[in-house]
Structure 1
Amino acid sequence: MAASLPLLPVLGAFDRAALLGGEAILKQAGVRDVRVHDARHTAATLLIEQGVHIRVVQEILGHTRVTTTERYTHVATLQMKDASDRMDSALWGSG
């Protein structure tokens, strides 16, 4: 019979430290205070930046509506520049 794994290893290092009273250790180490929820926004943005379709990101995050996923993603400056360059090329044939 396989031993069941405890819950704590499933949690991230930051969550584990917080649960075990390690906030002071993280602060002393200079680790920035972040929420697990922030990682969802970061993951969604990174996936979009890598060209993953927003509907796929929606499924990964488990959102019912794509509008919820849209709120999770943040448009990067490079993406805006690329869009601008493409519009320029489409309108004026440059590039």
Structure 2
Amino acid sequence: MILTDPLRLGPEEKLALPFGLICCYPKKMDDAIPDNNKKSRGRPRVDSTFVGVRVPPDLLAALDRWIEEDGALVGDAKMGRPEALRRLAIEALQKLGLYSVK
């Protein structure tokens, strides 16, 4: 028995949907977005290794003074702490003969 009013359904009766409605259901989200087309988020990968360092306040204050006094501009902006640390490390390693500019 096919009823159009779902409120009158008994325990043994089912509501039959027209065949056209079955074809109109949307895809599952798992199938809708394939994994291989996802864009990676965040900064692009570079050929380097992340090194997290904790710096004592007095050394950080000296680094900030060096940036203000001797630090060069990067583009139109003031050099940041990571770039300052890179430049100071390169300068120190070059003086020791352990690093050469590529």
Instruction: Give the TM-score normalised by the residue count of structure 1.
Output: 0.27
Higher helix proportion (structure 1 or 2): 1
Tell me: higher relative CO, structure 1 or 2? Use CA pairs within 8 A at least 6 residues apart. 1
